[in-house]
């Protein structure tokens, strides 16, 4: 069992948790993920590591309530425990030799983008953070991003926070001005990562995306997290996000296929979520 040592609500649907898992904390690096199971009947879900404290032995996760499992997780209180918590899995984000970076985060993906931005900031790289939310009341980690970046560009769909528009707009402006980065790292919904890639590709601006497909074991056994890379010569290569990723060269990723595959259990997830919500509602009554 793994104890929740801290829990905080970041916005109406996004929660921060710090979990006591010393072996994971000792090794965790930005870009890696953990797999957890809330209880004995629970499914295994991957969540990207949002932070860690090696001395305290804790690992932070930030999650949005989107389905039955995250709903159950959100009902756990500080001091309670979760059944399983394994990691750190996947490869850490490549930072070596990078002096200038743009981190593009969207929605709850910003939670994952933040530790990556911080890591680059800590090693002395020049960090541009472009972060977007639907509206002001969904904003998370504003102060943290401000502290971990040299330039912080805020975007929202409705203009209630920063500029009105998508994260791709300021990115395009920067690239248009002739400015370049050693790498642009996009972290968020697949659709956002696809459009960031479509923005940077005409400029041949190196771009890395952090993929988050459906997984079970996360250790290179089930193959559920497979995605396709399309080489410039058209060769298709099957890769596994759990052991080969989760970071991939954005110009090679087949985003449409990844989007298709992510909808594999859409109906099931919706039903399970409703069931879980009803269950909790009953308890409250």
Give residues in contact with other proteins (CB under 8 A). Answer: 23-24, 27, 37, 41-44, 68-69, 72, 83-89, 216-217, 219-224, 226-228, 236, 238, 240, 243, 254, 257, 260-261, 263-266, 268-269, 272
Q: Which is nearer to other proteins, 182 or 257 (CB)?
A: 257
Q: Which is nearer to other proteins, 182 or 269 (CB)?
A: 269
Q: Which is nearer to other proteins, 164 or 265 (CB)?
A: 265
CB of 255 to other proteins, least distance (A): 12
Q: Which is nearer to other proteins, 88 or 132 (CB)?
A: 88
Q: 239: buried, middle or exposed (CB in 10 Å: 19+, 13-18, 0-12)?
A: middle
Tell me which residue of 89, 131, 93 sits closest to 109, measured CA to CA. Answer: 131
Tell me which residue of 221, 185, 199, 152 sits closest to 48, measured CA to CA. Answer: 185
Q: Which is nearer to other proteins, 264 or 278 (CB)?
A: 264
CB of 268 to other proteins, least distance (A): 4
Beta strands per DSSP E along the chain? 2-11, 14-20, 33-37, 45-53, 58-64, 81-82, 84-89, 100-106, 126-133, 151-156, 163-164, 183-187, 207-210, 226-230, 236-240, 247-249
CA end-to-end span of the chain: 29
CB of 240 to other proteins, least distance (A): 6
What radius of gyration do the chain's Cα atoms show? 18
Q: Which is nearer to other proteins, 10 or 92 (CB)?
A: 92
CB of 70 to other proteins, least distance (A): 11
Phi, psi of 155 (to 5 degrees): -135, 145
| 8-state DSSP, 48 | E
CB of 279 to other proteins, least distance (A): 11
CB of 239 to other proteins, least distance (A): 10
């Amino acid at each position: 069992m793994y104890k929740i040592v801290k829990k905080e609500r970041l916005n109406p649907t996004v929660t921060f948790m710090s979990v006591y898992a010393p072996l994971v904390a000792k090794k965790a690096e930005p870009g890696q993920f953990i797999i957890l199971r809330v209880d004995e009947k629970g499914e295994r879900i991957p969540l990207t590591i949002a932070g860690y404290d090696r001395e305290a032995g804790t690992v932070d996760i930030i999650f949005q309530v989107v389905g039955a499992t995250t709903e159950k997780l959100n009902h756990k209180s500080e001091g309670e425990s979760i059944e399983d918590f394994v990691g750190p899995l996947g490869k850490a984000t490549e930072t070596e030799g990078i002096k200038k970076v743009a981190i593009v985060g969207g929605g709850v993906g910003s939670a994952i983008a933040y530790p990556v931005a911080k890591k680059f900031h800590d090693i002395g790289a020049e960090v541009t953070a472009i972060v977007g939310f639907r509206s002001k009341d969904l904003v998370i980690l504003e102060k943290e991003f401000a502290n971990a970046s040299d330039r912080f560009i805020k975007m929202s769909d409705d203009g209630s926070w920063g500029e009105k528009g998508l994260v791709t707009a300021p990115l395009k402006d920067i690239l248009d001005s002739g400015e370049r980065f050693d790498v642009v790292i996009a972290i968020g919904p697949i659709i956002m990562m696809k459009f960031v890639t479509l923005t940077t590709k005409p400029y041949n601006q190196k771009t890395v995306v952090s993929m988050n497909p459906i997984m079970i074991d996360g250790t290179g056994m089930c193959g559920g997290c497979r995605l396709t890379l399309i080489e410039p010569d058209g060769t298709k290569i099957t890769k596994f996000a759990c052991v080969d990723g989760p970071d991939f060269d954005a110009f090679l990723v087949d985003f449409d296929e990844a989007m298709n595959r992510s909808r594999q259990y859409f109906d099931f997830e919706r039903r399970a979520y409703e069931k879980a919500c009803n269950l909790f509602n009953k308890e409250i009554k």
